[in-house]
Amino acid sequence: MAVTRPTGGRGKVIEVMTFDLPREDVDDFLQAVESAQVYIRRSPLCLKYQLSRQADGEPSFLLRVEWSRNRWSAQGLSSVDEMAAFDLGTSRYRPFRRHLGFFTVTDVDWEEP
């Protein structure tokens, strides 16, 4: 049986999406995300976000956004202007995006202190 140590992630809704890009679009994509991140940072709903690249160097990325569950439940993301602006700033890459959905943290949650 795995032993877990809670990290306090219960007040979050986590949005996950992937981008599988052509190699020639990687630099432009990273610049677009760099520019558009200012919008998502402005949102009072956003707790954290992270863009990760596939470890073997393939042009695949994972975007993980942590939203405040309490605020998110009240407003819903459809009303988050900052996310709409971020989406518009990266709209060129929409054909390469796969939205995996919204998730909540379970009891199986641990990280090294």
The answer to whether residue 6 is domain-embedded is no
The answer to whether residue 2 is domain-embedded is no
The answer to whether residue 38 is domain-embedded is yes
The answer to whether residue 11 is domain-embedded is no
Q: How many domains does the chain have?
A: 1
pLDDT at site 105:
82
DSSP state of 107: S
Helical (H) or strand (E) element with 20: strand 12-20
The answer to whether residue 62 is domain-embedded is yes
Helical (H) or strand (E) element with 53: strand 46-53
What is the pLDDT tens value at each position of the chain, 113 positions in all?
A: 444 444 455 678 888 999 999 999 999 999 999 998 888 888 888 889 999 999 998 999 999 988 887 555 545 554 567 777 888 888 899 999 999 988 888 888 788 88
Measure the CA–CA gap between 73 and 48, rounded to whole angstroms.
17
- Residue 91 is part of which domain span? 21-103
The answer to whether residue 110 is domain-embedded is no
The answer to whether residue 1 is domain-embedded is no
The answer to whether residue 43 is domain-embedded is yes
